[in-house]
Amino acid sequence: MAKHSRRMSRKEKRRQERDLNHVVNNKFSMRRIEPITTTQEDLFDSYRSDQNIAAIGTAGTGKTMCAMYLGLLDVLSNPQYEKLIIVRSAVQTREQGFMPGSRTQKEAVFTVPYADITNDLFQRGDAWEILKQKRMVEFMTSSFVRGLTFDNSIIVVDECQSMTYHELDSIITRVGESSKIIFCGDTFQDDLAGSRNRNDVSGLTDFLRVVERIPSFDIINFGVDDIVRSGLVKEYILAKERCSNYLKAA
């Protein structure tokens, strides 16, 4: 016979909250990350100069890792920021709304890379869950940002090359008081290119034309020389660039 889960008493909930506070405040620290490439250093400098950022470039350059590290560092140490919000496109399944389950269940598959990064940064397998319970991290897809306002937050918008201009416009206009935003994307990895919907066209190029006119925005371009993931990834990206004309023709 299956056991029924017992509802926690108020005393037990307070004890759990106290224990969680103890973990975050006294036992919870990230390993220190230093920029590996000059471009990563530019990203760190720009962030610390209180700029909003568009980190654009090839895969494997550490854009998302650096953005999350800097954001989490602020959330943990700067009282101005309450949470790190990660927004990602659900373009791989524009049919997300037809998937079974709740919104949380539908989005769970997209949180895996960010949970992995967080757990690696804190060097413990429960870091993402602890921060989520403390409401210090929040994940959502771009489908659910309309009508929201992000105050006192660091917002990381990942895979932004797979968003339409309307989506990017909707997200940036959600930024509220005392918040900062980082867009991460790769103009060569457009998942919208194979979409069956003719209106699904990447808006990143047009969006960058707009934000480059904003004084509080820095656009930082990552290239092949900035790849830090592995030697194979770097070799593959170089080979793909050499074959780009052939691949387009095919």
**pLDDT tens digits for range 35-47:** 999 999 999 999 9
Domain layout of the chain by residue ranges: 36-249
pTM over 0.85: no
Mean pLDDT of 184-198: 63
Residue with the larger pLDDT of the pair 68 and 143: 68
For the segment 64-123, what is each residue's pLDDT rounded down to a tens digit? 999 999 999 999 999 999 999 999 987 654 444 455 556 666 677 889 999 999 999 999
Tell me, which fold does domain 36-249 have in CATH?
Answer: Rossmann fold (3.40.50)
Predicted confidence band at 245 (pLDDT cuts at 50, 70, 90)? low
Residue-level pLDDT at 109? 81
Report the 3 state secondary structure along the chain: CCCCCCCCCHHHHHHHHHHHHHHHHHCCCCCCCCCCCHHHHHHHHHHHCCCEEEEEECCCCCHHHHHHHHHHHHHHHCCCCCEEEEEECCHHHCCHHHCCCCHHHHHHHHHHHHHHHHHHHHCCCCHHHHHHHCCCEEEEEHHHCCCCCECCEEEEEECHHHCCHHHHHHHHCCECCCCEEEEEECCCCCHHHHCCCCCCCCCHHHHHHHHCCCCCEEEEEECHHHCCCCHHHHHHHHHHHHCHHHHHHC
